[in-house]
Structure 1
């Protein structure tokens, strides 16, 4: 084994790049839909060994000296992101005649850019590298900071943060309610890298002991948390219906299909409940489920009032138009409407965090001159972002915290106001991506948001996965991907928060400081001498 480890350390050139790329791609097996928890242990062990051999010329400048480590981290990240988000290209094939040219940019270009985070993390860790436990501490801190930065720089894209590989099931999600995603990512890298200590003497026993202790604490806390009595339902008399119509994305973009799509949603809304079941009080449709501007189509509101029974409320994803003033084109918003049984719009919330190049075009004045458009925006200029997030308060009922589409992947998008609501409400349309890993990854990340906040999650997706998720991340009731239909369920209760979100930020800073201290003291030889 030591001979093999030495061979990996001594790799150079294209062989080192290839192994780094394959190691990153292999780590993707830990993500949905597979969830193979063991995969990153091999991937990060290989990454550490490759970095062991990636020392630059000590007489060179800092950039040239750091380049070998950066290259290893970049190739690892490129493999990880290429293997993890290749399915984004599927969205470009929905309107292939217009967007197929951009396929290489989405499938290869975006992973190449995201890999820079891991390249910088590897270079930063290598700058304080040591022979033993300290090197995996430095790698953990560097990756933890990289994942934190990835959450907000350039609008942020924290999709498939390393921490999710350590949370493939509700049992292993419970720690997020104490630590938060950034801290989970930091500790996960330390644990995943720990097997490399088998090949070294310095800090072997304390490093392996700490890794095992962290895994036991992670699992043990999950077992303890799930064994606690479940909170009572928010209201056992209120039934929520989630509608999953499974409308093909190409059909949603076809004007001739709009009436049929609308009627399909209405039919699922009006369907009788399962035998012995109570009629739903709240019906939830997915993102952009209404195929036209509701405020410009009173007949559509009339049809909704015809279908809804007395006291029923419809929550529907729709495009909202707003007059921008004389001589100016209207602004469009990706929105959620609350509609009562008389067909009146009694509440609305607009999406705050838009998808760049999907819902709006960055540097629009420049890029539009080259004929570029936002992929998912069906109107000129794309969508406009809301300045603030509006909570959805239902008449005589609960209050929901709205998260439209990929807003659910951002822990920081869920403000303190969510703690006073009855549930997180995530409406989405993952039909853009087909039956690929994308919808499954999206669902897992939304599950973790419920656990982090101790609040149940209501999720309605056009093609799936729609589900009612309790405050511990468990699926109370759900519809599989591409399973057309509806489900009626009771809204679960809330869980008391173990640690407030603001306190989790301090925990992350403390863990980063402790890891950095271990890395620096190990480098100096002050602790963790040879066993």
Structure 2
């Protein structure tokens, strides 16, 4: 005899039950696994933790009875992952804590709550496959597809795809990130999640068999095959990356000699419009010093142009750049001999809306070109219309039309990117007019000396590999840096430094496969993996 549930005994009545200790422990464990997975992301790059966290999540999915429980597990894991990896967002609110103190808990936890459905959905979809390896395979492919879908949230927030964990600093990272030239960071995410789930589960099965505890996913034969294929994949991946570094060569003329000016202006000074004159003079001095060093390098390469970069919204007196021709002439006068200056600045358009822009100044101080930021930061630069509280002053900024290649006099063609735009894989260049190098201006002072600027930096490096283009990046408080088309670091100026960095950029690489076909490659790979999760198994006679 079985007891009826309360809903059957008392129809229409709802009885609230106190969560059991086991349920609470299960919830906290999944949150903790997600948070622990964040250690694999920049700047820690503790990749082995994924061999623990993802298989444990996979074990929960394999034990799940229905899609609802699987979705809940995925949501908790994702919430922990994003809350931990985006902790630094709170620093932006602390800049104006006297006005937005009430908003302090929301940036990281709010983003995690918004992003959690993007991990809940693949967990629920994985239930379509049979429990065991097939469910893990389907989950890995679904995770990647929904991770790619983050580009459609608000103005897009594809921050920290798991593939960026492979952007380890130094030569090892140079090797590991080369497959981004073929499949992009999304393809790398797919491979990493697959490897973590399958190899990690096989290793955990070995542990359980040795101690005769727990349940296993693979048969002994499957376990050996999985570990063997995983080892082969790691070796093949490394060999392919190493080969690309030595077999692909730059083509055409070298890039310009870039002068990356790092003014190191505290964000609270910029917000309060303090010390505008002093900051302007600081930028002039740093620019003059950098251009002078660039002229020294130019003696061995007399035909190379000199271009200096000022960071995003470089200094508090931004109206000068738009409204004062004399101010622009002064800037170029201090940069005597430079062919162009790329200046990050706010400007107001003909409709009175502010835009986050890069102004290209000619040697005579004239504005030769303007690029307006197209991808605006949700809740930072623009506010969705359905949010009732006024969070972004004056409703935010106006967006530009998207990537555009500049053909400035005496300078190799260049594509400008402002801050956050560099995180959008496959959307950083004009496909119809490929530039020869990329200029990225940013201001990470909002986020302090935290993981945020380092995570941002990994995106810059991966875009260099995906597009095969050298990138010069000027950041207000750091890290200013330059990469070649392999994502190899050429030079850097660290956090909280006031200086200018002079870097001659090499020639671009031949257009990689990813630059030709973009994210459709990763999507096609995901579809193939999904099909394999449902393919029939041939029975032996």
**Same fold, TM-score > 0.5, yes or no:** yes
CA distance in 1, matches of 2:519, 2:370: 31
The aligned counterpart of 1:438 is 452
Question: In 2, are the aligned partners of 1:158 and 1:409 still within 8 Å (CA)?
Answer: yes
Map of 1:265-304 to 2, 5 A cutoff? Answer: 265-271=283-289, 273-274=292-293, 277-278=296-297, 281-291=306-316, 292-293=318-319, 294-304=321-331
CA distance in 1, matches of 2:49, 2:229: 20
- From 151, 166, 175, give the equivalent of 1:171: 175
- From 167, 185, 210, give the equivalent of 2:229: 210
Map of 1:252-263 to 2, 5 A cutoff? Answer: 252-263=270-281
CA distance in 1, matches of 2:251, 2:522: 32
- From 323, 326, 330, give the equivalent of 2:350: 323
Question: In 1, are the aligned partners of 2:417 and 2:441 still within 8 Å (CA)?
Answer: yes
CA distance in 2, matches of 1:426, 1:275: 19
- From 5, 14, 39, give the equivalent of 2:49: 39
The aligned counterpart of 2:383 is 361
Measure how far apart 1:211 and its partner are.
Answer: 2.5
Alignment partner of 1:18 is 2:28: yes
Kindly tell me: are residues 402 and 129 of structure 1, through their superposed partners in 2, closer, same or farther at Cα, counting changes over 3 Å? farther
Map of 1:99-178 to 2, 5 A cutoff? Answer: 99-131=100-132, 133-168=133-168, 169-178=173-182
Measure how far apart 1:397 and its partner are.
Answer: 1.1
CA distance in 2, matches of 1:43, 1:389: 38
Measure how far apart 1:246 and its partner are.
Answer: 1.0
The 3-state SS of whatever aligns with 2:275 is: helix
The aligned counterpart of 2:18 is none
Alignment partner of 1:184 is 2:188: yes
Measure how far apart 1:233 and its partner are.
Answer: 8.0
The 3-state SS of whatever aligns with 1:302 is: helix
Kindly tell me: are residues 210 and 12 of structure 1, through their superposed partners in 2, closer, same or farther at Cα, counting changes over 3 Å? farther
Alignment partner of 1:53 is 2:88: no
* Residue deviations 1:79-128 (CA, integer Å, cap 9, x gap): 11011011011000101111221121112111111111111111111332
The 3-state SS of whatever aligns with 2:254 is: coil
Measure how far apart 1:390 and its partner are.
Answer: 3.2
Question: In 2, are the aligned partners of 1:348 and 1:390 still within 8 Å (CA)?
Answer: no
Kindly tell me: are residues 408 and 275 of structure 1, through their superposed partners in 2, closer, same or farther at Cα, counting changes over 3 Å? closer
The 3-state SS of whatever aligns with 2:487 is: coil
Alignment partner of 1:306 is 2:306: no
The aligned counterpart of 1:245 is 263
Measure how far apart 1:205 and its partner are.
Answer: 3.4
The aligned counterpart of 2:201 is 196
The aligned counterpart of 1:60 is none
Question: In 1, are the aligned partners of 2:41 and 2:162 still within 8 Å (CA)?
Answer: no
Measure how far apart 1:214 and its partner are.
Answer: 2.4
Question: In 1, are the aligned partners of 2:262 and 2:311 still within 8 Å (CA)?
Answer: yes
Measure how far apart 1:489 and its partner are.
Answer: 1.4
Kindly tell me: are residues 93 and 311 of structure 1, through their superposed partners in 2, closer, same or farther at Cα, counting changes over 3 Å? closer
CA distance in 1, matches of 2:329, 2:527: 60
Kindly tell me: are residues 256 and 511 of structure 1, through their superposed partners in 2, closer, same or farther at Cα, counting changes over 3 Å? closer
CA distance in 2, matches of 1:347, 1:386: 13
Measure how far apart 1:528 and its partner are.
Answer: 9.0
The 3-state SS of whatever aligns with 2:348 is: strand
- Higher mean Cα deviation, 465-474 or 391-400? 391-400
TM-score by length of 2: 0.86
Kindly tell me: are residues 394 and 504 of structure 1, through their superposed partners in 2, closer, same or farther at Cα, counting changes over 3 Å? closer
CA distance in 1, matches of 2:273, 2:110: 32
TM-score by length of 1: 0.87
Measure how far apart 1:492 and its partner are.
Answer: 1.3
Question: In 2, are the aligned partners of 1:348 and 1:392 still within 8 Å (CA)?
Answer: no
CA distance in 2, matches of 1:411, 1:147: 12
The 3-state SS of whatever aligns with 2:264 is: coil
The 3-state SS of whatever aligns with 2:472 is: strand
- Higher mean Cα deviation, 270-279 or 244-253? 270-279
The 3-state SS of whatever aligns with 2:181 is: helix
Question: In 1, are the aligned partners of 2:259 and 2:294 still within 8 Å (CA)?
Answer: no
Kindly tell me: are residues 76 and 451 of structure 1, through their superposed partners in 2, closer, same or farther at Cα, counting changes over 3 Å? same
CA distance in 1, matches of 2:252, 2:472: 13
Question: In 1, are the aligned partners of 2:74 and 2:121 still within 8 Å (CA)?
Answer: yes
Measure how far apart 1:230 and its partner are.
Answer: 4.5
* Residue deviations 1:190-220 (CA, integer Å, cap 9, x gap): 1011221241334333333333332222211
Question: In 2, are the aligned partners of 1:391 and 1:402 still within 8 Å (CA)?
Answer: yes
Kindly tell me: are residues 16 and 149 of structure 1, through their superposed partners in 2, closer, same or farther at Cα, counting changes over 3 Å? same
Measure how far apart 1:350 and its partner are.
Answer: 0.6
The aligned counterpart of 2:11 is none
The 3-state SS of whatever aligns with 1:316 is: strand
CA distance in 1, matches of 2:435, 2:154: 30
* Residue deviations 1:171-208 (CA, integer Å, cap 9, x gap): 11100101112222112111011221241334333333
* Residue deviations 1:21-46 (CA, integer Å, cap 9, x gap): 11111111111211122121111111
The aligned counterpart of 2:463 is 449
CA distance in 1, matches of 2:439, 2:512: 22
Let me know the Cα RMSD of the aligned residues: 2.3
CA distance in 2, matches of 1:403, 1:75: 34
CA distance in 1, matches of 2:38, 2:125: 23
CA distance in 2, matches of 1:44, 1:528: 30
Measure how far apart 1:415 and its partner are.
Answer: 4.0
Unpaired stretches in structure 2, ≥5 consecutive residues: 1-20, 206-216, 299-304
Alignment size in residue pairs: 492
